[in-house]
A and B are shown apart, each in its own frame.
Chain A
Amino acid sequence: MAVTEIKSDAVALEKAIEPSPGALLRRRVFSHMGLMIGGGILLVILAMALLAPLISPHDPYDQILDRKLIPPVWFDSPKVTWAHPLGTDQLGRDYLSRLFWGARISLLIGFAAMLISGVIGTTLGVLAGYFGGRVDMVVNFIITTRLSMPVVLVALAVVSLIGSSLTVVIWVLGLLIWDRFAVVMRSATQQVRGLDFVAAAEALGCSTWRILASEIMPNVTNHLIVVATIEMAHAILLEAALSFLGLGVQPPEPSWGLMIAEAKGLMFFEAWLITIPGTALFLLVLAINLLGDGVRDVTAPENRN
């Protein structure tokens, strides 16, 4: 049909001009705005997290009640001081330092929870997609069961029953949000499984595990990265919600979600107190989402909607 004709012409043309697939990918990466912005923000936050001990002007736990609620330097207030560029919180702790250290915990939660859920979900999804039949039925059943449990409620209930800590939050979130991994990996594997090279590998008598590891996995990686970013953002937001209700990371740890939760009482009066960690959290989640969208666009341009 006509549209395909045009596309095939365009593709042929691109092929004629582009030197290699690697260069092509690089060009797509660098010309993708969302990907560059997302990646850039994420790099900055990552640097903040990694370098927190070096670049923090103060100890993030050090409270000086006499110096509490100093506004950030851009405010017009006699209390403002460059010793606390972003001011201090309600217990007189340096906000900038807490922001840096908070990046660690928020990233840690997002990453660790994503890792746990990724391992569970990918295993289930790939097995279901590859073996099909009964395995697929069982995995589908597990996914449906998991989906029918309300995440926030179950997370809250479990955390409240066994007590809250960083580790508990990570595990509870990790064990709860693997469903998307499973769903996406399952269908991606199904697609790849139908392709010729897998059939070829099977015909050559390669072992199942070898096929899974060297034929299937490399070809579903782009899907995996996309889901991983979505779930990482999801975990970070869930932690913020748990913190808001007082069941997330426990103080005095400075997670960004917790910083918002602690400052929420003053949001009508000292809006910056919630805006600073709120913006940080927003940017982090935005960056991760942009990155995910970008990876999808760049690795599989034909899937771009």
Chain B
Amino acid sequence: MLQYVLKRLGIAILVAVTVSMITFSMIYLSGDPAIALAGETATQEDIQNIRRVYGYDQPIVVQYANWLWNALQGDFGQSHYLKKPVADVIFERLPTTMLLGACALIFALVLSIPLGVVAAVRPNSLIDRIALTIAVVGQAMPSFWFALTMMLWLGIYWRLLPISGTASWANFVMPSIALGYYITPAVMRLTRAGMLEVLSSDYIRTARAKGLRPMTVLFKHALRNAIIPVVSLAAVQFGFMLGGSIVIETIFAVNGLGFLAWESIQRADLPMMQAIVLVLSFFYIILTFLADMLNAWLDPRIRVM
């Protein structure tokens, strides 16, 4: 187990370093960063000055090392636009997005795992077909369309939910559904496929031959094994949701990281963009690492070696 953990950890760190290099090189996509940083009133002299102060005159490897070193200490530099430390702004917005992501994930799992299980227990039944339809339709609808339609019905016509902002828990309902709906097909399909496979396995037959109650067979013996790949998927999807919440946050005026990212992109606020990409990537890496660990813990074949 320890060996497994260390191996995974090593890979995670290596990936993180690579991602940080790619993110760092983003700054050179738009030309000379010093000019961008110097801003509107800068003279040639100012730009030279900035090059020196920010180290843009140094070899790129040194620049990268400095940047990474600062980033590791939580210093992502100054936002060009907001004129505040990037880290402060990000950590101010991160909780909102995390909350949204978590709600969306919970919604997705609560919807898709039971549907997947039922669909697997009764293949080709009405519920299976409904689940399949949800999956296929869900994959084909642009998310903003779904979000706006939901706003139209739940918000305007029926007045069930507040439309925008983050004032109360009710404000998170629509964005969470809109965001979570997009991962339900994948989770549902995987749960269904996993359950089908597990349910036809020999040890389920053994469990039934023991005279265990159907619920015990289903939940203790089947779901426990079928859920293992779903855990990985859920972690991966949670990472995707944090990065993919841009559209949803924009529509529902949720002032989270996705919204900040979008604003920063429009303002060409490079340090902010870099930091957000980096933070989200690290998040994803940590999540997949944790998912691996959870998997190992769920699956004794990995845990007990």
Contacts and interface: CB of A to CB of B under 8 A. Distances in A.
A and B touch in the complex (CB under 8 A): yes
Interface of B, secondary structure class, is: helix
Nearest to B14: A141
A241 B247 contact: yes
Contact of A150 (B136, B192, B277): B277
Interface size class of B (residues with CB under 8 A): 35 or more
Nearest to A256: B142
Interface in A223-282: 233, 237, 240-241, 244-245, 247, 257, 260, 264, 267-268, 274, 278, 281-282
B160 interface: no
Contacts, number: 128
Interface in B60-102: none
Contact of B148 (A141, A152, A240, A267): A267
A160 B266 CA distance: 7
Contacts of A43: none
B185 to A, nearest CB: 9
B145 A274 contact: yes
B142 A281 contact: yes
A211 B30 CA distance: 44
A13 interface: no
B131 to A, nearest CB: 12
A77 interface: no
Contacts of B285: 148
A246 to B, nearest CB: 9
Interface of B: 11, 14-16, 18-19, 22, 26, 29-30, 136-137, 139-145, 148, 152, 156, 189, 192-193, 196-197, 200, 202, 236, 239-240, 242-244, 246-247, 250, 258, 261-262, 265-266, 268, 273, 276-277, 280-281, 284-285, 288
Given A149-B277, A237-B143, A241-B144, 14 more contacts: A148-B16, A148-B239, A148-B284, A152-B244, A152-B247, A241-B142, A244-B142, A245-B246, A245-B262, A260-B145, A267-B148, A281-B142, A293-B136, A305-B193
